[in-house]
Structure 1
Amino acid sequence: MSEENVTPAASLGARAVGDIELPEELRADVRLLTSLLGRVLRESGSPGLYEDVEQLRQTMITAYSDETSASFEKAEEIVENFSVERADEVARAFTVYFHLVNLAEEFYRTRLLHQETGSDLTGTDTVAGAYSRLIEEIGESAARKRLSTMRFHPVFTAHPTEARRRAVSSSIRRLDDYLEERYANPSNPVYEHRMERRLLEEIDTLWRTAPVREHQPKPEDEVRSIMAVFDETLYTTVPKVYRRICDILQGDESGRTPPAIKPFLRLGTWVGGDRDGNPFVTASVTKKALAISSDHILRGLEVTADRVARTLTLSADTTPSSPELKARWHQLTTADEDGAASAITKAPDEPHKRVLMLVSRKIQATRTRNADLAYSAPEELISDLRLVQDSLARARANRQAYGDLQQLIWQVETFGFHLAELEVRQHSMVHARALAECEAGGELSTETEEVLEVFRTIAQLQGRYGVEASRRYIVSFTQSAADLENVYKLAHFAVGPGGKAPVLDVIPLFETYADLQASTAILSKIAKYPEYAERLQETDGDVEVMIGYSDSSKDVGPVAATLALYEAQANIAEWAVERGLKLTLFHGRGGSLGRGGGPTNTAILGQPPHSVGGRFKLTEQGEVIFARYGDPTIAMRHIDQVAAATLLAAAPSIEQRNLNASEQFADIARVMDRSSKERFLALVNAEGFAPWFATVTPMEEIGQLALGSRPARRGLSVKSLADLRAIPWVFSWSQARLNLAGWYGLGTALQEVNDLNVLREAYEKWPLFTTMIDNVGMSIAKADSRIAERYLQLGDRPDFTEMVLDEMALTRRWITDITDTTGNGRIIDNRPELQLAVKMRSPYVDALSLLQLRALRVLRSQEPSPNDTDSQAPGSQMPIGQSRDGSTSGAQGAPEWQHLLLLSVSGVSAGLKNTG
């Protein structure tokens, strides 16, 4: 076998996939990385591992395109003959393959983004292009106002869907750096050999690194994991986004005149603040979370201020300071005599540098809590920086005024002293129980004491970091205005008579189908509550409402939930417009279709009129955070795209298009809502469905994965879907290769409409329907009916199996008929880049699924199998759990099979990419 083919993917990486050709650069990188992985498997794997991986790989590739069952059955036979140790190694090999292919794709994408030309940067999917279109539609003055008030507000959460460890992520990031170095030094044999050695070393490290966590992470660990994204990407990337927009809008004037935009990104976080169902998030954890965030941003600002100061070596002769800056210098020297003396020594005739050196010391004092020197709020720091900037501009040092110094100002304006606003979330029932105890006046339970301590903590955090650091309080499962009023009442109980309650923006979270329908009635009532109404006045009519995608989908099915969410947004937007309020809709989206996933910018452009209004806020969780914000180049593009859609969504043409479409296809929406809901409820409400679901998916085992600090369920067992969180509901179906949570009921809904011409017209003209069809197409494409059928057979309910597979086939047929414009009869044929990604991974995901199935069968049966062995060589006949002393027990073998199952979960997640 040639060196080129010693890979668990080389033939696929080196050639076309079906009739789709891999781009040359991507093909080369995939071939390089997977060939190096092949060498690692030969060097570091047990004897015969490479040959076993290669045999399964080749068989799965054939089976993927083989309409007969022969190749697939052969693959099943290969997997059945693996020892548990060998199966574990094979699963790890395929998992590493996915990480490498994902890396290659990401690296290819970043190269394309680096190659973007001027025209690429002015399309309507960029802020500059969206702004230009707005000018055409509403005039320059109105467009400039929209630009200045735009907000994009991602909120990072610790939802447990990021299956890979931080150590794995770090290894992948180092590999990316090596690829970048290699790309920057082409045609250098000596350098290329050195880079190949380093790549091999890192891939070997990745292979040897345990892919799944051994211990459940603590909330503090999750905070630090999020900090890695900030440190490595967002801190420096965000000002680059602003600068690139200014470069396009201002041309040569960019960097020497005041910027054309104001900072529009604000970060939020639930990590350390979301206590809904997570007993490990306490008031103490919340304090630590914000302390960690604040330390990171203040360290960053201190270093940046010091760096900018070192560049301002402008003498007083060429660049005199303004009278205002001179006055500020004297104030600073009085407060910090030692720092002033040092600054005078280092910069005797450089007034701007001297001031910024003392500013850097004040930032340090803020971080170390030196009250004599510390800034009390980020506004004070911005004021000092503006004084320096204004002085430079008045001395005609414009490039120094609006260059690096401006980027520092942007960073302070964006991140403040807290980095990301820490939002608190708690379930409405917890509040109700706590308030009942407080009003009863007896001894308080531990739960209620903790609830009250949270409000005291928020007050402390606001005192230390400012009100903006933590003021939003989200009430999960808001079902009445009383659920919101309870928060204010508890805050007063917490501080006691005469105490000052924290500033709170209480935000309802409407999650279920019924709550979405009742949303405007609840809002109308709470708007009259004195403290809520007072806060509306203080914020000049800012009102925020959160809508949940996950539980509504689990409640009535994905189609009815999508339509209900759209209707609720339209109603809430109309409610806000009638009252002259500035609405921000907070979208509780996840990474998967079943949790509101899919391309964010297209989803924004399909929202109801007035529901965006230049403000878009959403949750970002798990794998999505690292996919969108882990790489600086991709993060820049993502932020630019989402901000562009946020700006453009309020364009009259976009709003009119969405309004016309919703009216034109209202009858279709009603038919789809009714029929899809009936179909979904007929399945999930059937007797025995909940335990069947737990049997035919690895739901129970997923709960044992050390993914996040929050438990996967609200109760101890799954007696009904209400006991199960939406995340494992979605995650489990993706692992079973069905993705049922994202499409079940759609096929029946389309069949009920039964008019292909009308449906194709809706696909062309109705953005909500277009997004739904495209996302379901992606979801169905990543599913596999042959493997799914094996999972469903675990439950011994042929009636459920038939319902699911029939609906899957019906949905696939209608999606294909609606989108297939070429006559090829293939799903997602209109999206070749996605089709390529799916085809490039599917055979390998299939292999991991077969390994997972085998582990599941063993764990469910707990019976010895004649093919299990303690040996690392294939083909041995020692039974499950047999130790070296010859004893046998299914229970003894379970830990190894449990590890294999969890490993396969991690691998499938890496292969599918959007699992939760």
Structure 2
Amino acid sequence: MTSTDPGRAATEPLREDIRLLGGILGQIVHDQEGEDVFALVEKARVESFRVRRSEIDRAELATLFDGIEIGKAIPVIRAFSHFSLLANLAEDIHRDRRRSIHIRAGEPPQDSSLAATYAKLDAAQLDSSRVADLLTDALVAPVITAHPTETRRRTIFEVQSRITELMRFRERTELDDDETAEVDRQLRRQIITLWQTALIRLSRLRIQDEIEVGLRYFHLSLLEVIPRINAQVRDELRRRWPDVNLLEQPILRPGSWIGGDRDGNPFVTAEVVHNATHRAAFVAIEHHLAELSKLEQELSMSARLVTISYAVQELAEASGDSGSNRDDEPYRQAVRCVRGRLTATAEQILDKLPADAVSLGLEPYETPQQALNDLDAIDTSLRGHGDAILADDRLAALRWSIETFGFHLSSLDLRQNSEIHEEVVAELFAWAGVHPDYRSLPEDERVELLAQELATRRPLSSPDAEFSELTTKELAITRAAALAVRTLGPRSVPNYIISMCTSVSDLLEASVLLKEAGILDPGSGTPTSSVGVVPLFETIEDLQQGAATLLAALDVPVYRALVSSRGDNQEVMLGYSDSNKDGGYLAANWALYRAELDLVDAARKSGIRLRLFHGRGGAVGRGGGPSYEAILAQPVGAVTGSLRITEQGEVIAAKYAEPRIARRNLESLLAATLESTLLDVEGLGAAAEPAYAILDDLAERARRAYGELVHKTPGFVEYFRMSTPVAEIGELNIGSRPASRKPTNSVYDLRAIPWVMSWSQSRVMLPGWYGVGTAFEEWVDGDADKLAQLADLNERWPFFRTVLSNMAMVIAKSDLGLAARYAELVPDVELRNKVFGMISDEHAKTIRMYKAITGADDLLADNPAVARSVFNRFPYLEPLNHLQVELLRQFRAGDDRELVKRGILLTMNGLATALRNSG
């Protein structure tokens, strides 16, 4: 980064907002904590900016916190953490402001907006039959996961929302001085509440808490935004291609892993699966009933003044509301009938009734479509007497909502490790007399045995059978899923994901467990299942073999028949985290791209429709980065109208905590999916194979360089544990899962979130770049022509450009000067110097090669939003890093007081909030 403020004129409103919020926060710190704390905060702030301007050495700032008393450190940490949180709000408001300025200026719509996508589709003059084919079974599903690095509590979110509303009101409303002062007083009230509310929990989240956290985003934005987008996208596409019935189902349908992902999480039980599915259903039906209650009040039209349809008259009579003062208000009676039937449904499937339920003794709806049919009748009647303007308001929003969310709200995925399936199936086979030692069988015999079992309805257990604790638990979980499917509909649990899937037997074992639960029905030679089996390919080797594994599975007649019964649809999940931890950034990204190429080819050969599910994290080292660019960077054929993508960590809050921002982010997912499906976006043409060969070479070099450090350097794990807060991350109450899959000192067994988050906290950001510089330098080897080839790829190939852009963003957020402070925590000086020296050399090499390839002097030349963030905010991170190092030193020296540990956790919270994509 340069030291000059990027785009000063354009960003002045942002700086004004930051000054306003920061000034209020500073005054509160002074009033609440006293002059000494305020003076220390101010001195740290001023000195941090002097460090950025190279006026003082970083060590001078660090001395401010040497030996600091924990009682004084905590309010300083909280001050800078709260500033980061407020700066996030200001940046989000500014992005919305800039978007509005572009629109008002009449400028062309910006890329990643649906308006820009529609313009591109219009220019392409696409054939309607091809569009219809490519958008068959179209689906875009953001899937909220159960292991966030997001630590904020509900109260914090509510305060943030109120501050955002006040800031927008302040900007967009003509206020006199007194009115402005009143808004500022309200801001102060909210920021005082923020200051006096604990940022972190004292106890670890339970899965039940995580379920509620995930559902929070539906109330904050998704219930309002998703149905409206679905309706608008359908209308726009059908207007362009009216002769084909596009998007019969809503394209945007959210998913969740919260309560269904039990890979490495021993706390997921049958009760948790029930709670997850039924709490989601409660939110959906609660919303529908609340809207019906409001609609009942709004549709007050009198039968003496309008002519209603026969269908509405029938609904009105069925409500049982005759003889009341609503006798001439048939719409109110008709809506009450719908409300009564939906209440009866709630009584049948929910554990408790929502507030707007009204028990009328009516028949329940068996499916959401039945409720939609009744609402459609009301809609048709309103339009029949000229009230389309009413039909297009709350009634339309409710119809879209029921169509999108049904009675289930979002789809819950089940996930478990293949090793667990193997163990459970072995025990079932032994008990049922199928085979005494299934696990001893070679792969071909396993496949034969499993295929035979999938062809018969014979159960492998009985209600009184006694199994191990593991098998009993796994069977109960799949049966809880079966209950959800029966009561809430097939969209409530649509997928069963197999972690560490390496073989055909892994796919068939999961299928056997679905059969045992009654979800998969072998039928009479034609098996059916409402739940699809989804292999997850995670390591680089598994990604390389993924297509072969899938083709081998499809060669098994019973599995091929199962896929055929599901419309020839097969979903495959790609893991970004373990592949990165295994082989480094470039090797992992290229392995994923190659895997997609192979899977697309396998789908073409076998005649199936492939849907890819991208297991991306918030951090670039786990597949993070701007979603629009990431989707466009997929190979040709990898996005055929369908895309599922995980949303994790603080990214969830950044994307979905507020309706306008949620809409923008959901639009970008849809825009990229439509463009990738319907347009040629790869741009390589006949030059694809030579480009792929270059990346094959580069990826192998990068993997080798990464492995030299991470897997082959003696003492590296010790360096990692001592120079980062990885051990302390296990204490941060941010999720229900353990930090490691099992007790180990191996990098392989450490979960990707603490691996990535630790490097982010220490500002190394190693998973997002290490090994790339060496690969480029070795391959180019001083040859100007080779460098020109890479520059050409950066210009023409979205994949390569996105890989470089995301890497540059990560490096811009790294700071090896601060990382050196963390390295000082490693007591072994020789090890410290060796490992940090390797990191420093690679860091410099990577920046040098990035600039040579792109021709850019600035790492963030192509990312002005992040450039603004880094410039305006990063000096405020500096004190948090120094305080974290100091408190880690005190804690590891034996000061294990609760306050010291809490102080460390607060620094983690503040840094994760400020970095925004650290986990």
What residue ranges of structure 2 are gaps of 5+ in the alignment? 349-358, 432-464, 781-785
Instruction: Give the CA deviation at 1:329.
Output: 5.2
CA contact (8 A) 2:228 2:400 kept: no
Give the direction of change, closer, same or farther, for the CA distance of 1:483–1:182 in structure 2 (3 Å limit): same
Tell whether 2:753 aligns with 1:727. Answer: yes
Tell whether 2:696 aligns with 1:670. Answer: yes
Distance 2:471 2:376 in 1: 46
Tell whether 2:410 aligns with 1:375. Answer: no
Instruction: Give the CA deviation at 1:582.
Output: 1.8
> Which is further off, 808-817 or 107-116?
107-116
Instruction: Give the CA deviation at 1:26.
Output: 1.3
Tell whether 2:440 aligns with 1:454. Answer: no
Give the direction of change, closer, same or farther, for the CA distance of 1:574–1:102 in structure 2 (3 Å limit): same
Normalised by the size of structure 2, how large is the TM-score?
Answer: 0.88
Partner of 1:865: none
Instruction: Give the CA deviation at 1:127.
Output: 2.8
Partner of 2:776: 750
What pairs up with 1:428-827 in 2 under 5 angstroms? 428-441=418-431, 443-494=466-517, 503-655=530-682, 657-660=683-686, 662-686=688-712, 687-716=714-743, 718-754=744-780, 755-795=786-826, 796=828, 797=831, 798-821=833-856, 825-827=857-859
Partner of 1:868: none
Give the direction of change, closer, same or farther, for the CA distance of 1:461–1:745 in structure 2 (3 Å limit): same
1:354 to 305, 309, 333: 333
Give the direction of change, closer, same or farther, for the CA distance of 1:443–1:860 in structure 2 (3 Å limit): same
> Which is further off, 596-605 or 238-247?
238-247
Normalised by the size of structure 1, how large is the TM-score?
Answer: 0.88
Instruction: Give the CA deviation at 1:351.
Output: 3.4
CA contact (8 A) 1:320 1:351 kept: no
Distance 1:494 1:589 in 2: 30
Distance 2:533 2:418 in 1: 12
CA contact (8 A) 1:305 1:356 kept: yes
Tell whether 2:349 aligns with 1:340. Answer: no
Tell whether 2:194 aligns with 1:206. Answer: yes
Partner of 1:895: 898
Give the direction of change, closer, same or farther, for the CA distance of 1:642–1:19 in structure 2 (3 Å limit): closer
Partner of 1:913: 916
1:828 to 855, 860, 874: 860
1:422 to 412, 422, 447: 412
Instruction: Give the CA deviation at 1:18.
Output: 7.0
CA contact (8 A) 2:490 2:530 kept: yes
The secondary structure found in structure 2 opposite 1:155 is: strand
2:345 to 349, 353, 366: 366
1:80 to 54, 62, 66: 66
Distance 1:643 1:115 in 2: 23
CA contact (8 A) 2:315 2:333 kept: no
What pairs up with 1:78-477 in 2 under 5 angstroms? 78-115=64-101, 117=103, 122=109, 125-139=112-126, 141-142=128-129, 145=132, 150-242=138-230, 263-316=250-303, 319-327=306-314, 333=318, 339-341=319-321, 345-369=324-348, 373-441=363-431, 443-477=466-500
CA contact (8 A) 2:292 2:339 kept: yes
Distance 1:517 1:144 in 2: 31
CA contact (8 A) 2:303 2:328 kept: yes
Give the letter aligned to residue 427 of structure 1: N
CA contact (8 A) 2:650 2:913 kept: no
Give the direction of change, closer, same or farther, for the CA distance of 1:19–1:375 in structure 2 (3 Å limit): closer
What do you get for the CA RMSD once the two structures are aligned?
Answer: 2.8
Distance 1:106 1:728 in 2: 27
Partner of 1:840: 872
Give the letter aligned to residue 70 of structure 2: V
Instruction: Give the CA deviation at 1:272.
Output: 0.9
Give the letter aligned to residue 783 of structure 1: S
Give the letter aligned to residue 117 of structure 1: I
Deviations 1:83-132 (A, max 9, x none): 22212221111001101111111122233344553856855533344234
Distance 2:131 2:329 in 1: 37
Deviations 1:400-444 (A, max 9, x none): 444432221111111110100111111111111111122222952
Give the direction of change, closer, same or farther, for the CA distance of 1:397–1:262 in structure 2 (3 Å limit): farther
Deviations 1:175-230 (A, max 9, x none): 11222332343332222222222211221221222221110011111111122210
Deviations 1:603-658 (A, max 9, x none): 11111111101111100112111111111011111111210110010234325x15
Give the letter aligned to residue 262 of structure 2: R
Distance 1:809 1:124 in 2: 32
Q: How many residues align?
A: 854
CA contact (8 A) 1:607 1:658 kept: no
Give the direction of change, closer, same or farther, for the CA distance of 1:101–1:123 in structure 2 (3 Å limit): closer
Deviations 1:582-615 (A, max 9, x none): 2110000011000000010111111111110111
Distance 1:340 1:491 in 2: 44
The secondary structure found in structure 2 opposite 1:33 is: helix
Deviations 1:264-323 (A, max 9, x none): 210111111111111111110110111111111101011112323433334446653334
Distance 2:520 2:604 in 1: 38
Instruction: Give the CA deviation at 1:668.
Output: 2.2
What pairs up with 1:10-21 in 2 under 5 angstroms? 17=5, 20=8
Distance 2:381 2:566 in 1: 33
The secondary structure found in structure 2 opposite 1:507 is: strand
Deviations 1:430-461 (A, max 9, x none): 11111112222295211110001111111111
The secondary structure found in structure 2 opposite 1:348 is: coil
Give the letter aligned to residue 28 of structure 1: E
Give the letter aligned to residue 426 of structure 2: A
Distance 2:108 2:234 in 1: 12
> Which is further off, 72-81 or 29-38?
72-81
Give the direction of change, closer, same or farther, for the CA distance of 1:120–1:309 in structure 2 (3 Å limit): farther
CA contact (8 A) 1:845 1:911 kept: yes
Give the direction of change, closer, same or farther, for the CA distance of 1:817–1:702 in structure 2 (3 Å limit): same
2:24 to 22, 36, 47: 36
> Which is further off, 607-616 or 404-413?
404-413
Instruction: Give the CA deviation at 1:17.
Output: 3.3
Give the letter aligned to residue 812 of structure 1: I
The secondary structure found in structure 1 opposite 2:112 is: coil
The secondary structure found in structure 2 opposite 1:479 is: coil
The secondary structure found in structure 1 opposite 2:320 is: helix
1:65 to 27, 32, 53: 53
Distance 1:859 1:184 in 2: 48
Distance 2:101 2:306 in 1: 38
Give the direction of change, closer, same or farther, for the CA distance of 1:326–1:896 in structure 2 (3 Å limit): closer
Instruction: Give the CA deviation at 1:489.
Output: 1.8
The secondary structure found in structure 1 opposite 2:909 is: helix
CA contact (8 A) 2:237 2:246 kept: no
CA contact (8 A) 1:558 1:594 kept: yes
Distance 2:560 2:687 in 1: 35
Instruction: Give the CA deviation at 1:140.
Output: 5.5
